[in-house]
Chains A and B, each alone.
Chain A
């Protein structure tokens, strides 16, 4: 019998994607415009910063190109780690939980076409953000090292197998796990394993202490330092091959071996992946169909949170309890807390590892500067967490929206519940991160107060932005909550939040600068109009970033139709 072509199998996905683009164009092109503006600003920012760094590094004799290569290698290794994690999570959805699987598996489509179709789907879903992120990075390398126009196709040729390898690896890992673990707990176990692995990678990365490279004074001689730079992180890592391939091109001496290694390994991986799929997919797919079954007597949250929220209306209280229960019963959701815990530990470890309080006393200026810049960094961490936990909140209600809209629940109450359920733990974390960091840095009382107040205001704004963007770009049809933050809306949210953080940090710097100068000159710190004005600007920015997204989100929710 004639088999349907791979193109035919992929046609519905392609048509759906095209239709979505058409719909976004027909709805006034606002989405496209936002993407273009925010995306361009973000790209320009990444490109600009990296361009300046690379131009400086390039000027350093001997060490320059080596350091640039090392930075590229570390960046690509980070990308590959993110891609493996992302592919493991995405493959579970596309190979075992997707709605179209019943149709495809029941149809006379052979295993190889199914494998290629689903591998392609997994690859695109999990890699598009990394691919976009790599554009300004590679562009900066290309421009600084005079790669020329030929560098563009060459970089694409290097990057394609680098995306394929983690996709095949992640897919194969998922396939094996689904077959090994009891089917009812597969998804739960997989989430924990994937996140545990990610946590392990981050910790490992931290323990390697790459910051040593940035402190050449720690090496006895320059030769020692160069020796470390020359040593590959691992000669067997595809990210290392990619970095070597790109840098050899940029140095003008193209070495075909790394590129050859990338392509041949990718081809071998795809072949092995296909064979594994042929052997294990049917069993795994059958196992994944078996329903979960759990007996629950959930009175804990009712007795604790329910009792604490007693002054609220019944509907608000029930909504909060419901949201908390759903979060802690969905392993794909709560297991992300493991990753979060690792991130917090690494974050505090990094601050503690800063060479500020070693040996001679460090200047007040540096402590204040680090404490101040830490606000932006902590804000970024909070934004990433909000993207994971608050941004999907509205999307996750999608299928049940019939119930909420047909009930007398006021949508403001819904938004209120979602906002506070997300904001309260985020605020706790924000205060912990900022407070502990300032204690570790031995920052002044002034900086402690400024930091704590700012991070509070930023948390309210970030949570509102996450919820607002989540409502503006809902993903009602998603099959995996973990994929929601990587959607278009998630990207725009992150970019907007980075913009807000930059604006707030710049505004505050004007005020903090006055304080630093006064202390430096031995003058008494006077809170003058200038200082108050810039604190005011930062406060207004945060208030606007809180109120506007919530209002826009509510309006959008009112217009939802199901």
Chain B
């Protein structure tokens, strides 16, 4: 469903992503892990068509995001890490606007809006301007907006940030059901427990390259890690010694 071919992004002389190739099939929840600045957000934003790759391409359901952007983006729902939305629209108006961007309108959209707001417990806020929403409520609204056009795949950057425990649990359930119905989710997260519990496949990114990729069992096998937890694997692959040094420095 999501295919990356030699995806590369340079910011001046800095290489944010370095020839990453990857295939995430239908019905898979894929987790991208990596330290800060590893290139996760850059990769997700290129998949969503927000950033233009320096080299390589992104295919969504066979459509190139740069060459056939409309077809590719129709299949996609994107949830950014920072919930910037139009403060002077109400929640319901924002969702109607997003549906319009995907060419949808009418009663079907109204019903879908009501459904989503109900699921995310925003119904009583639907006619309230977004400027009055809390960070978590905005995040819920953006998640709703990514689902409004019934996408085939969802790309999500740090989905749990700002959500209360109930919201986080709800999102996990939604993603799980979405994947079970044949959808694809690609998400980045720093919460290793979430990744370990939710993801079917995991990719660990370091310095713009995928240093490990596959199911938990496959990654353990590849790196002869026995029964190591994801945290131990992560630290091993991304420089755990630095963490140990840091702990020593802070402990002094």
Contact = CB atoms under 8 A, between A and B. Distances in A.
Centre residue among B80, B86, B131 by max chain A CB count within 10 A: B86
B50 to A, nearest CB: 4
Interface in B235-252: none
A502 B49 CA distance: 42
A406 B45 CA distance: 8
B90 interface: yes
A298 B104 contact: no
B76 interface: yes
Contacts of B86: 322, 326, 400
Interface in B92-108: 93, 96-105
A409 B127 CA distance: 25
Contact of A315 (B88, B89, B101): B101
A292 B128 CA distance: 10
B207 interface: no
Nearest to A413: B101
A296 B127 contact: yes
A416 interface: no
Interface in A419-466: none
Interface in B51-95: 51-52, 69-71, 73-74, 76, 78, 80, 84-86, 88-90, 93
B85 A400 contact: yes
B89 A325 contact: yes
A402 B97 contact: no
A401 B50 contact: yes
Contact of B102 (A291, A408, A561): A408
B15 interface: no
A318 B89 contact: no
Nearest to B133: A291
A407 B102 contact: yes
A408 B74 CA distance: 6
A294 interface: yes
B145 interface: yes
A561 B73 contact: no
15 contacts: A292-B131, A292-B132, A293-B132, A294-B128, A294-B129, A297-B127, A314-B100, A314-B105, A325-B93, A329-B88, A400-B86, A402-B80, A403-B101, A405-B49, A405-B50
B248 to A, nearest CB: 29
Interface residues of B, number: 37
A284 B168 CA distance: 36
Contacts, number: 102
B198 to A, nearest CB: 22
Given A313-B103, A326-B88, A400-B86, A407 B132 contact: no
Give 8 nearest A-B pairs by CB, closest first. Answer: A318-B100, A399-B84, A406-B78, A329-B88, A407-B101, A406-B48, A408-B73, A293-B132
Contact of B103 (A293, A314, A562): A314
Instruction: Using C-beta atoms within 8 Å of the partner chain, give the interface range for chain A.
Output: 35 or more
A559 B98 contact: no
B2 to A, nearest CB: 14
B123 to A, nearest CB: 14
A401 B82 CA distance: 12
Contacts of A296: 90, 93, 127-129
A295 interface: yes
Interface string B17-50: 0000000000000000000000000000100111
Interface string A46-75: 000000000000000000000000000000
A321 B102 CA distance: 16
Interface string A389-403: 000000000011111
Interface in A485-544: none
A330 B88 contact: yes
A234 B26 CA distance: 78
B30 to A, nearest CB: 18
A157 to B, nearest CB: 43
A326 B98 contact: no
A308 B45 CA distance: 36
Contact of B97 (A293, A294, A318, A562): A318
Most B-side CB within 10 Å, residue of A326, A407, A410 = A407
A43 interface: no
